[in-house]
Amino acid sequence: MTGPADDGRRHEAKAIPIMEVAARLGIGGLRRAGLEHVGPCPVCGGRDRFGINPHRGLFNCRICDEGGDGLKLVQFVLACDFVKALDYLVGKADVAPDPAVVARRKAKAEAAERKRQEAEAAARARAIRDAREIWHAAQPGEGTPAEDYLAARGVWFPGGWPPTLGFLPDHPYLKFWPGRGTVAWFRGPCLIAACQNPAGKVTAVHQTWLDVGSPGQKAQIIAPDGSLADPKGKKWPAKMVRGSKKGCAIRLTPLGASGVMIMGEGIETTGSALAAGVKPAAAFWAGIDLGNMGGRMLKVPGTRWSGQPDLEDADAWLPPDCISQLAFLQDGDSHPKATRARLLSGLERAAHHSRHPDFMGWIVAAAEGADMNDMRKRELKDAGTA
């Protein structure tokens, strides 16, 4: 006897491209990420935990622990059996989800998401604890190789050495190594910067390992196998953040009363503007990285970098309420369009949240192919003071 699952419709259903199946199911909010389209799961809602690979014709949700082909996708979204999935794709389209199955899946997904959030919170707490231990162990940076490193790059502090910059003479470079866990790849002198959240609490440290034999140069990091670079030929970074940096900044100067803030990504970029005497009354804070400064951007069809902030992102950095003018420093040695879009997103977010009706934000760009510190060193060399 031939049942409804064996009436020839199986092959017809399997021939339907999985992205077409997804469209029929109303699955939206997906974006390209390599070979996959990823986004929120249509069942559990987990952000970026759901993906479809159109080349393999498969989907997967890492929270629900479900996956498979187009027919499985229909069963997953509509909470139905195989036969009803066939009916939906190549027969009757009025397939209603099974309420009991939906309830079980919802409970399973909620439990998995709670477990994930608990693990994430525990890992974050450990990282913050580690960062604070590093910061408390650091000595003041003035008069150490940390000061020599910055001075050799043309960075000094007219108002005195910042209390947020410290130094450790023999600091381990900890990184995960497959098969061996987290190991110390390297030890050496290190500039330690406190990353403070809006309440002024240290929740992360920015670490820069130094080559004391070559003032102004970062250390060359050597991995446990003796390699100086990853498999793609990229050198192991001499800078690393430990802790939770979201919403934080490295405060090189106090806020003051001017209402003006100047911010670059790193200490060297921001410190270059400070040492050059640009707007002496301004506050100079380093934003750590572009992701923190710009926050999450909206996806706009036809535009790779929209420059429009996702205002639901509550973790990105925002200027203090007293800031009415914010200047972002744009280095010219990274992708210009992507970098500018990130900074525009951050300025738009700041303007949206600002309490000042006349809030102003702008971008100051370095010369093409150079960063602000390159320009600072060139300025000093031309003046004969380097």
CATH number of the domain that residue 304 is part of: 3.40.1360
Residue 293 in domain: yes
Let me know whether 153 and 91 are in one domain.
Answer: no
Q: What is the CATH number of the domain that holds 49?
A: 3.90.580.10
Between helix 145-152 and helix 267-275 the angle, nearest 10°, is 70
Q: Is the residue at 257 inside a domain?
A: yes
- Average of per-residue pLDDT across 199-222: 94
pLDDT (average), residues 221-249: 91
Under a CB-based contact definition with an 8 Å cutoff, are residues 330 and 340 in contact? yes
Q: Is residue 106 part of a domain?
A: no
Residue 161 domain boundaries: 137-244
Question: Do 77 and 198 fall within a single domain?
Answer: no
> Is the same domain home to 292 and 255?
yes
Q: Model confidence over 361-383: pLDDT tens digits?
A: 999 988 888 888 988 988 888 88
238: in domain: yes
HSE, side-chain direction, 13 A CA sphere, residue 28 = 3
The answer on 376 and 342 residing in a single domain is yes
Q: pLDDT digit string (tens) for 266-296?
A: 999 999 999 999 898 999 999 999 999 999 9
Percent of the chain topping pLDDT 90 = 56
Residues 216 and 227 in one domain: yes
- Check whether residue 174 and residue 92 sit in a common domain: no
Domain assignment present for 110: no
User: What's the pLDDT tens digit per position in 45-73?
Assistant: 777 789 999 999 999 998 888 999 999 99
Cα 341 to Cα 362: distance, rounded to the nearest angstrom: 12
Question: Does 134 or 212 have the greater pLDDT score?
Answer: 134
Winning range, highest mean pLDDT, from 98-107, 238-247, 301-310 = 238-247
pLDDT surpassing 50 at residue 240: yes
* Number of structural domains found in the chain: 3
280 plus 233 within the same structural domain? no
- Mean pLDDT (the chain, rounded): 89
| Nearest in space to 292 (alpha carbons), one of 201, 368, 206 | 206
Same domain for 238 and 252, yes or no, is: no
Query: Within 13 Å of residue 123, how many CA atoms lie on the same side as its CB?
Result: 6
φ, ψ for residue 290, nearest 5 deg: -65, -35
Alpha carbons within 13 angstroms on the beta-carbon side of residue 159 total 16
User: Domain boundary residue among 191, 212, 244?
Assistant: 244
Same domain assignment for residues 282 and 374: yes
Q: Supply φ then ψ for residue 271, to 5 degrees.
A: -65, -30
Domain termination site, one of 97, 121, 147: 97
Band of pLDDT at residue 2, cut at 50, 70 and 90? very low
- Residue 161 within a domain: yes
Q: Kindly state the average pLDDT of the residues 230-248.
A: 92
Tokens 């040492």 belong to 275
Mean pLDDT of 338-343: 93
Domain boundary among 244, 267, 301: 244
* Average pLDDT of the segment spanning 297-323: 89
Work out the number of other CB atoms within 10 angstroms of the CB of residue 3: 7
Q: Are residues 235 and 259 in the same domain?
A: no
pLDDT: which is higher, 278 or 179 = 278
Residue 94 confidence (pLDDT): 67
222 and 259 together in one domain: no
Q: In the prediction, which pLDDT does 1 show?
A: 39
What is each CA distance from 257 to 154, 261, 317, 363, in whole angstroms? Answer: 27, 10, 20, 22
* pLDDT grade for 74, boundaries at 50, 70 and 90: very high
C-alpha to C-alpha distance for 28 and 323, rounded to whole angstroms: 38
Query: pLDDT tens-digit profile of 87-144?
Result: 889 876 666 666 776 677 677 777 877 887 898 899 999 999 999 999 999 999 999 9
Place of tokens 């702008």: 362
**Residue 114: which H helix or E strand, with range?**
helix 99-137
Q: How far is CA 47 from the centre of its chain?
A: 15
Q: Residues 270, 224: one domain?
A: no
**Is there a domain that residue 144 lies in?**
yes
Query: Which element (helix H / strand E) includes 59?
Result: strand 58-61
Q: Is residue 125 included in any domain, yes or no? A: no
